[in-house]
Homo-oligomer: A and B are copies of this chain.
Amino acid sequence: MKPLKDIVVLDLTRVLAGPYCAMVLADYGCDVVKIEPPGEGDDSRAFGPFVGQESAYFMSLNRNKRSMTLNLKKQEARDLFKEMVKKADVVLENYRPGTMEKFGLGYDELKTVNPQIIYAACSGFGHTGPYAQKPGYDILAQAMGGIMSITGPEGGEPVRVGASIGDIIAGLFTAIGVLMALHHRTVTGEGQKIDVSMLDSQVAILENAIARYFVSGSAPKPLGTRHPSITPFDAFKSKDGSIIVGAGNDRLWEKLCDIIGCPELKADERFKSNSQRTQNFQELYPYLNDAFRAKTTAEWIIDLEAAGIPCGPINPIDKVVADPQVLCREMIVETDHPVAGPVKMAGVPIKMSATPGGVDKPAPTLGQHSAEILRELLGLKPEEIENLRKRQVL
Protein backbone atom coordinates (compact mmCIF):
# COMPACT_ATOMS: atom_id res chain seq x y z
CA MET A 1 0.00 0.00 0.00
CA LYS A 2 1.20 3.51 -0.78
CA PRO A 3 0.84 6.38 1.67
CA LEU A 4 -0.86 8.97 -0.57
CA LYS A 5 -3.34 6.74 -2.39
CA ASP A 6 -6.32 8.86 -1.35
CA ILE A 7 -4.94 12.03 -2.98
CA VAL A 8 -5.88 13.25 -6.47
CA VAL A 9 -3.44 15.65 -8.15
CA LEU A 10 -4.28 17.63 -11.30
CA ASP A 11 -0.87 18.17 -12.82
CA LEU A 12 -0.45 20.89 -15.45
CA THR A 13 3.34 20.94 -15.23
CA ARG A 14 5.83 20.50 -18.07
CA VAL A 15 9.49 19.55 -18.53
CA LEU A 16 11.27 18.98 -15.19
CA ALA A 17 10.68 20.92 -11.95
CA GLY A 18 6.93 20.35 -11.74
CA PRO A 19 6.99 16.85 -13.25
CA TYR A 20 9.70 15.82 -10.78
CA CYS A 21 7.48 16.96 -7.88
CA ALA A 22 4.51 15.12 -9.39
CA MET A 23 6.68 12.01 -9.88
CA VAL A 24 7.56 11.87 -6.18
CA LEU A 25 3.87 12.21 -5.30
CA ALA A 26 2.91 9.55 -7.88
CA ASP A 27 5.64 7.14 -6.74
CA TYR A 28 4.01 7.17 -3.31
CA GLY A 29 0.46 6.68 -4.44
CA CYS A 30 -1.09 9.97 -5.50
CA ASP A 31 -3.39 9.64 -8.49
CA VAL A 32 -1.51 12.12 -10.66
CA VAL A 33 -3.63 13.19 -13.61
CA LYS A 34 -1.15 14.71 -16.02
CA ILE A 35 -3.01 17.22 -18.18
CA GLU A 36 -1.29 17.89 -21.48
CA PRO A 37 -2.13 20.01 -24.51
CA PRO A 38 -3.49 17.87 -27.35
CA GLY A 39 -1.12 17.32 -30.25
CA GLU A 40 2.38 17.64 -28.83
CA GLY A 41 1.80 17.16 -25.08
CA ASP A 42 4.47 17.96 -22.49
CA ASP A 43 7.46 19.62 -24.24
CA SER A 44 9.75 16.97 -22.84
CA ARG A 45 8.08 14.27 -24.97
CA ALA A 46 10.31 15.76 -27.69
CA PHE A 47 13.53 15.64 -25.64
CA GLY A 48 16.11 12.96 -26.34
CA PRO A 49 17.38 10.38 -25.84
CA PHE A 50 14.69 8.31 -27.53
CA VAL A 51 13.73 4.65 -27.35
CA GLY A 52 12.02 4.16 -30.69
CA GLN A 53 9.76 7.21 -30.94
CA GLU A 54 9.42 7.65 -27.18
CA SER A 55 11.52 10.03 -25.08
CA ALA A 56 13.47 8.13 -22.42
CA TYR A 57 13.72 11.45 -20.59
CA PHE A 58 9.94 11.85 -20.51
CA MET A 59 9.37 8.21 -19.61
CA SER A 60 11.72 8.31 -16.61
CA LEU A 61 10.01 11.40 -15.15
CA ASN A 62 6.40 10.49 -15.79
CA ARG A 63 6.07 6.88 -14.65
CA ASN A 64 3.12 6.15 -12.37
CA LYS A 65 1.08 9.05 -13.83
CA ARG A 66 -2.03 9.03 -16.00
CA SER A 67 -2.27 11.33 -19.02
CA MET A 68 -5.25 13.17 -20.38
CA THR A 69 -5.33 15.92 -22.99
CA LEU A 70 -7.11 19.20 -22.47
CA ASN A 71 -6.97 22.20 -24.79
CA LEU A 72 -6.98 25.03 -22.25
CA LYS A 73 -7.25 27.60 -25.03
CA LYS A 74 -10.92 26.61 -25.27
CA GLN A 75 -13.42 27.85 -22.68
CA GLU A 76 -15.11 24.46 -22.60
CA ALA A 77 -11.83 22.85 -21.55
CA ARG A 78 -11.37 25.39 -18.78
CA ASP A 79 -14.89 24.72 -17.53
CA LEU A 80 -14.14 21.01 -17.57
CA PHE A 81 -10.93 21.64 -15.63
CA LYS A 82 -12.89 23.56 -12.98
CA GLU A 83 -15.27 20.63 -12.64
CA MET A 84 -12.27 18.38 -12.11
CA VAL A 85 -10.88 20.76 -9.47
CA LYS A 86 -14.02 20.09 -7.43
CA LYS A 87 -12.99 16.42 -7.23
CA ALA A 88 -9.27 16.98 -6.68
CA ASP A 89 -7.00 17.64 -3.72
CA VAL A 90 -4.06 19.33 -5.41
CA VAL A 91 -3.42 21.43 -8.53
CA LEU A 92 0.22 21.65 -9.68
CA GLU A 93 1.45 24.10 -12.30
CA ASN A 94 4.78 25.48 -13.46
CA TYR A 95 3.68 28.13 -15.95
CA ARG A 96 5.17 31.59 -15.89
CA PRO A 97 3.33 33.66 -13.21
CA GLY A 98 0.07 35.09 -14.57
CA THR A 99 -0.59 32.38 -17.15
CA MET A 100 -3.14 30.53 -15.03
CA GLU A 101 -4.89 33.84 -14.35
CA LYS A 102 -5.08 34.48 -18.10
CA PHE A 103 -6.83 31.10 -18.42
CA GLY A 104 -9.20 32.17 -15.63
CA LEU A 105 -7.72 29.34 -13.56
CA GLY A 106 -5.64 31.25 -11.01
CA TYR A 107 -5.78 30.28 -7.35
CA ASP A 108 -8.29 33.02 -6.51
CA GLU A 109 -10.64 31.57 -9.10
CA LEU A 110 -10.07 27.91 -8.24
CA LYS A 111 -10.58 28.39 -4.52
CA THR A 112 -14.10 29.68 -5.18
CA VAL A 113 -14.70 26.38 -6.98
CA ASN A 114 -13.08 24.27 -4.23
CA PRO A 115 -12.00 26.09 -1.05
CA GLN A 116 -10.07 23.00 0.06
CA ILE A 117 -7.89 22.88 -3.03
CA ILE A 118 -4.12 22.99 -2.56
CA TYR A 119 -2.66 25.00 -5.41
CA ALA A 120 1.10 24.63 -5.87
CA ALA A 121 3.04 26.76 -8.33
CA CYS A 122 6.67 26.05 -9.14
CA SER A 123 8.33 28.77 -11.22
CA GLY A 124 11.75 30.14 -12.10
CA PHE A 125 11.70 33.17 -9.83
CA GLY A 126 8.41 33.01 -7.88
CA HIS A 127 5.11 34.83 -8.14
CA THR A 128 6.37 38.06 -6.53
CA GLY A 129 9.36 40.34 -6.96
CA PRO A 130 11.10 42.12 -9.83
CA TYR A 131 12.11 38.93 -11.71
CA ALA A 132 8.71 37.23 -11.49
CA GLN A 133 8.17 37.42 -15.24
CA LYS A 134 11.62 36.17 -16.29
CA PRO A 135 11.73 32.74 -17.87
CA GLY A 136 13.15 30.04 -15.58
CA TYR A 137 15.78 27.57 -16.72
CA ASP A 138 17.90 25.21 -14.69
CA ILE A 139 21.16 26.84 -15.74
CA LEU A 140 19.87 30.31 -14.82
CA ALA A 141 18.80 29.13 -11.36
CA GLN A 142 22.19 27.50 -10.84
CA ALA A 143 24.01 30.60 -12.11
CA MET A 144 21.96 33.29 -10.37
CA GLY A 145 21.48 31.25 -7.19
CA GLY A 146 25.20 30.96 -6.46
CA ILE A 147 25.91 27.23 -6.61
CA MET A 148 27.69 27.56 -9.95
CA SER A 149 30.10 30.13 -8.47
CA ILE A 150 31.32 27.58 -5.91
CA THR A 151 31.42 24.56 -8.22
CA GLY A 152 34.41 23.96 -10.49
CA PRO A 153 38.14 23.26 -10.47
CA GLU A 154 40.18 25.16 -7.88
CA GLY A 155 41.35 28.39 -9.48
CA GLY A 156 39.26 27.69 -12.59
CA GLU A 157 35.95 28.65 -14.11
CA PRO A 158 32.57 27.81 -12.54
CA VAL A 159 30.70 24.85 -13.99
CA ARG A 160 27.08 23.79 -14.02
CA VAL A 161 26.14 20.92 -11.69
CA GLY A 162 25.75 17.97 -14.09
CA ALA A 163 22.21 17.11 -12.98
CA SER A 164 19.49 19.75 -13.20
CA ILE A 165 19.37 20.52 -9.51
CA GLY A 166 17.95 23.97 -10.28
CA ASP A 167 14.77 22.22 -11.31
CA ILE A 168 14.93 19.19 -9.04
CA ILE A 169 15.44 20.97 -5.72
CA ALA A 170 12.52 23.26 -6.53
CA GLY A 171 10.45 20.16 -7.29
CA LEU A 172 11.39 18.62 -3.94
CA PHE A 173 10.50 21.78 -2.00
CA THR A 174 7.19 21.94 -3.88
CA ALA A 175 6.44 18.34 -2.85
CA ILE A 176 7.23 19.23 0.77
CA GLY A 177 4.92 22.25 0.49
CA VAL A 178 2.06 20.14 -0.89
CA LEU A 179 2.44 17.61 1.92
CA MET A 180 2.55 20.29 4.61
CA ALA A 181 -0.53 21.96 3.12
CA LEU A 182 -2.24 18.58 3.11
CA HIS A 183 -1.54 18.19 6.81
CA HIS A 184 -2.88 21.68 7.49
CA ARG A 185 -5.97 20.91 5.44
CA THR A 186 -6.57 17.67 7.33
CA VAL A 187 -6.43 19.57 10.62
CA THR A 188 -8.40 22.69 9.59
CA GLY A 189 -10.18 21.98 6.31
CA GLU A 190 -8.44 24.96 4.75
CA GLY A 191 -6.71 24.89 1.34
CA GLN A 192 -4.01 27.32 0.23
CA LYS A 193 -1.56 28.42 -2.46
CA ILE A 194 2.09 27.37 -2.45
CA ASP A 195 4.64 29.41 -4.38
CA VAL A 196 8.10 27.84 -4.83
CA SER A 197 10.82 29.30 -7.02
CA MET A 198 13.91 27.73 -8.50
CA LEU A 199 16.01 30.73 -7.43
CA ASP A 200 14.81 30.64 -3.79
CA SER A 201 15.40 26.89 -3.71
CA GLN A 202 19.02 27.33 -4.78
CA VAL A 203 19.61 29.94 -2.06
CA ALA A 204 18.12 27.52 0.48
CA ILE A 205 20.77 24.87 -0.26
CA LEU A 206 23.87 27.08 -0.28
CA GLU A 207 24.56 25.82 3.22
CA ASN A 208 27.81 27.02 4.70
CA ALA A 209 28.68 29.20 1.68
CA ILE A 210 26.34 31.88 3.06
CA ALA A 211 27.79 31.62 6.56
CA ARG A 212 31.34 31.73 5.16
CA TYR A 213 30.53 34.85 3.18
CA PHE A 214 28.86 36.76 6.01
CA VAL A 215 31.61 35.87 8.49
CA SER A 216 34.61 36.41 6.22
CA GLY A 217 33.26 39.11 3.92
CA SER A 218 34.66 37.35 0.88
CA ALA A 219 32.74 35.15 -1.55
CA PRO A 220 33.66 31.43 -1.49
CA LYS A 221 35.20 30.06 -4.69
CA PRO A 222 35.26 26.66 -6.41
CA LEU A 223 37.53 24.13 -4.69
CA GLY A 224 37.49 21.23 -7.15
CA THR A 225 37.02 18.17 -4.98
CA ARG A 226 38.92 19.49 -1.98
CA HIS A 227 37.28 19.93 1.42
CA PRO A 228 37.64 23.56 2.58
CA SER A 229 38.71 22.75 6.15
CA ILE A 230 39.64 19.05 6.43
CA THR A 231 42.89 17.75 4.86
CA PRO A 232 43.30 15.31 3.27
CA PHE A 233 39.64 15.03 2.23
CA ASP A 234 39.77 14.98 -1.56
CA ALA A 235 39.99 12.93 -4.73
CA PHE A 236 43.38 11.62 -5.83
CA LYS A 237 44.46 9.88 -9.02
CA SER A 238 45.04 6.16 -8.63
CA LYS A 239 46.72 3.79 -11.08
CA ASP A 240 43.47 3.28 -12.99
CA GLY A 241 41.13 6.08 -11.97
CA SER A 242 40.44 8.15 -8.87
CA ILE A 243 40.00 7.55 -5.17
CA ILE A 244 38.22 9.73 -2.63
CA VAL A 245 40.01 9.71 0.73
CA GLY A 246 38.79 11.36 3.91
CA ALA A 247 41.18 11.41 6.84
CA GLY A 248 39.11 13.54 9.17
CA ASN A 249 41.34 13.50 12.23
CA ASP A 250 44.97 13.04 13.31
CA ARG A 251 44.56 9.35 14.13
CA LEU A 252 43.26 8.59 10.62
CA TRP A 253 45.97 10.80 9.14
CA GLU A 254 48.70 8.78 10.85
CA LYS A 255 47.15 5.52 9.68
CA LEU A 256 46.97 6.93 6.17
CA CYS A 257 50.68 7.82 6.21
CA ASP A 258 51.50 4.19 6.97
CA ILE A 259 49.14 2.78 4.36
CA ILE A 260 50.48 4.94 1.55
CA GLY A 261 54.05 4.10 2.50
CA CYS A 262 54.98 7.57 3.75
CA PRO A 263 55.46 7.02 7.52
CA GLU A 264 57.93 9.92 7.62
CA LEU A 265 55.07 12.38 7.02
CA LYS A 266 53.69 11.61 10.48
CA ALA A 267 56.61 13.45 12.09
CA ASP A 268 56.65 16.30 9.57
CA GLU A 269 55.97 19.53 11.45
CA ARG A 270 54.15 21.04 8.47
CA PHE A 271 51.45 18.37 8.60
CA LYS A 272 51.05 17.66 12.33
CA SER A 273 47.50 18.92 12.78
CA ASN A 274 44.50 19.17 10.51
CA SER A 275 44.77 22.95 10.42
CA GLN A 276 48.46 22.70 9.47
CA ARG A 277 47.65 20.16 6.76
CA THR A 278 44.91 22.42 5.42
CA GLN A 279 47.13 25.48 5.49
CA ASN A 280 50.04 23.65 3.84
CA PHE A 281 48.07 21.46 1.47
CA GLN A 282 50.08 22.63 -1.54
CA GLU A 283 53.23 21.24 0.06
CA LEU A 284 51.46 18.08 1.16
CA TYR A 285 49.75 17.18 -2.10
CA PRO A 286 52.83 16.18 -4.14
CA TYR A 287 53.51 13.37 -1.62
CA LEU A 288 49.90 12.20 -1.77
CA ASN A 289 49.63 12.51 -5.55
CA ASP A 290 52.72 10.35 -5.97
CA ALA A 291 51.65 7.78 -3.42
CA PHE A 292 48.12 7.21 -4.70
CA ARG A 293 49.32 6.53 -8.26
CA ALA A 294 50.92 3.29 -7.02
CA LYS A 295 47.74 1.18 -6.78
CA THR A 296 44.36 0.79 -8.42
CA THR A 297 41.23 2.30 -6.96
CA ALA A 298 39.95 -1.14 -5.94
CA GLU A 299 43.25 -1.94 -4.19
CA TRP A 300 43.19 1.34 -2.28
CA ILE A 301 39.61 0.78 -1.18
CA ILE A 302 40.58 -2.57 0.38
CA ASP A 303 43.56 -1.05 2.20
CA LEU A 304 41.80 2.11 3.33
CA GLU A 305 38.63 0.36 4.48
CA ALA A 306 40.69 -2.10 6.52
CA ALA A 307 42.11 0.89 8.39
CA GLY A 308 38.70 2.51 8.84
CA ILE A 309 39.52 5.45 6.60
CA PRO A 310 36.48 6.78 4.68
CA CYS A 311 37.06 6.20 0.98
CA GLY A 312 35.33 5.40 -2.27
CA PRO A 313 35.56 5.56 -6.05
CA ILE A 314 34.29 8.33 -8.32
CA ASN A 315 31.75 6.25 -10.19
CA PRO A 316 30.76 7.05 -13.75
CA ILE A 317 27.09 6.42 -14.51
CA ASP A 318 27.73 2.92 -15.92
CA LYS A 319 29.27 1.92 -12.57
CA VAL A 320 26.53 3.61 -10.54
CA VAL A 321 23.71 1.69 -12.21
CA ALA A 322 25.59 -1.60 -11.67
CA ASP A 323 26.73 -0.92 -8.10
CA PRO A 324 25.78 -3.74 -5.69
CA GLN A 325 24.43 -1.34 -3.07
CA VAL A 326 22.41 0.60 -5.64
CA LEU A 327 20.95 -2.65 -7.00
CA CYS A 328 20.29 -4.13 -3.55
CA ARG A 329 18.34 -0.98 -2.65
CA GLU A 330 16.30 -1.33 -5.88
CA MET A 331 17.41 2.07 -7.08
CA ILE A 332 17.39 0.95 -10.71
CA VAL A 333 13.99 -0.26 -11.87
CA GLU A 334 12.43 -1.15 -15.19
CA THR A 335 9.01 -0.38 -16.62
CA ASP A 336 7.45 -2.08 -19.59
CA HIS A 337 6.21 0.74 -21.81
CA PRO A 338 3.40 -0.16 -24.24
CA VAL A 339 5.28 1.43 -27.14
CA ALA A 340 8.94 1.62 -26.16
CA GLY A 341 9.16 -1.70 -24.33
CA PRO A 342 11.41 -2.12 -21.30
CA VAL A 343 12.94 1.15 -20.01
CA LYS A 344 15.30 1.43 -17.05
CA MET A 345 15.21 4.40 -14.67
CA ALA A 346 15.94 5.44 -11.08
CA GLY A 347 13.85 3.81 -8.34
CA VAL A 348 12.30 5.42 -5.27
CA PRO A 349 14.66 6.68 -2.56
CA ILE A 350 12.34 6.87 0.46
CA LYS A 351 12.09 3.36 1.92
CA MET A 352 8.94 3.19 4.08
CA SER A 353 8.25 0.07 6.17
CA ALA A 354 4.43 0.24 6.18
CA THR A 355 3.72 2.06 2.94
CA PRO A 356 6.54 1.50 0.48
CA GLY A 357 6.43 3.50 -2.71
CA GLY A 358 7.37 2.02 -6.03
CA VAL A 359 7.35 2.25 -9.79
CA ASP A 360 4.31 0.28 -10.91
CA LYS A 361 3.25 1.85 -14.16
CA PRO A 362 5.17 3.06 -17.21
CA ALA A 363 4.80 6.65 -18.34
CA PRO A 364 1.53 7.22 -20.19
CA THR A 365 1.25 7.86 -23.89
CA LEU A 366 -0.32 11.23 -24.70
CA GLY A 367 -3.97 11.21 -23.62
CA GLN A 368 -3.89 7.51 -22.84
CA HIS A 369 -6.29 7.92 -19.90
CA SER A 370 -8.47 10.82 -21.08
CA ALA A 371 -11.66 8.78 -21.30
CA GLU A 372 -11.07 6.79 -18.12
CA ILE A 373 -10.34 9.95 -16.09
CA LEU A 374 -13.37 11.86 -17.38
CA ARG A 375 -15.56 8.86 -16.65
CA GLU A 376 -14.17 8.34 -13.14
CA LEU A 377 -13.93 11.96 -12.00
CA LEU A 378 -16.89 13.52 -13.78
CA GLY A 379 -19.03 10.55 -14.75
CA LEU A 380 -18.97 11.46 -18.46
CA LYS A 381 -20.42 8.97 -20.93
CA PRO A 382 -18.49 7.64 -23.95
CA GLU A 383 -20.53 9.73 -26.37
CA GLU A 384 -19.93 12.90 -24.34
CA ILE A 385 -16.20 12.20 -24.39
CA GLU A 386 -16.36 11.54 -28.12
CA ASN A 387 -18.06 14.89 -28.61
CA LEU A 388 -15.36 16.66 -26.60
CA ARG A 389 -12.77 15.09 -28.88
CA LYS A 390 -14.66 16.20 -31.96
CA ARG A 391 -14.81 19.77 -30.68
CA GLN A 392 -11.03 19.59 -30.01
CA VAL A 393 -11.52 20.18 -26.30
CA LEU A 394 -9.40 17.07 -25.65
Other-chain residue from B144, B159, B201, B325 in contact with A224 (beta carbon distance below 8 A):
B159
A394 to B366 CA separation, bound complex (whole angstroms)? 60
A304 to B246 CA separation, bound complex (whole angstroms)? 45
Other-chain residue from B162, B235, B320 in contact with A151 (beta carbon distance below 8 A):
B162
Q: Are B172 and A49 closer than 8 Å at their CB atoms?
A: no
Say whether A51 faces chain B, with CB atoms less than 8 Å apart: yes
**Nearest B-chain residue to A199, judged by Cβ:** B325
Contacts of A271 in B (CB 8 A): none
**Minimal beta-carbon separation of A264 from chain B (angstroms):** 27
Number of chain A residues close to chain B: CB under 8 A: 142
Copies of this chain, whole number:
2
Say whether A94 faces chain B, with CB atoms less than 8 Å apart: no
**Minimal beta-carbon separation of A5 from chain B (angstroms):** 9
- From A200, A305, A325, A349, residue with most partner B Cβ within 10 Å: A349
Say whether A299 faces chain B, with CB atoms less than 8 Å apart: no
Chain A 43-65, CB-CB to B under 8 Å as 1, else 0, gives 00001111100001101110000
**Minimal beta-carbon separation of A42 from chain B (angstroms):** 14
Contacts of A209 in B (CB 8 A): 162-163, 317
**Minimal beta-carbon separation of A204 from chain B (angstroms):** 4
Contacts of A279 in B (CB 8 A): none
**Minimal beta-carbon separation of A123 from chain B (angstroms):** 11
Contacts of A215 in B (CB 8 A): 49-51, 56
Say whether A298 faces chain B, with CB atoms less than 8 Å apart: no
9 further interface pairs, Cβ-Cβ under 8 Å (given A177-B352, A200-B349): A130-B328, A144-B323, A168-B207, A169-B172, A181-B354, A197-B349, A210-B317, A210-B332, A218-B318
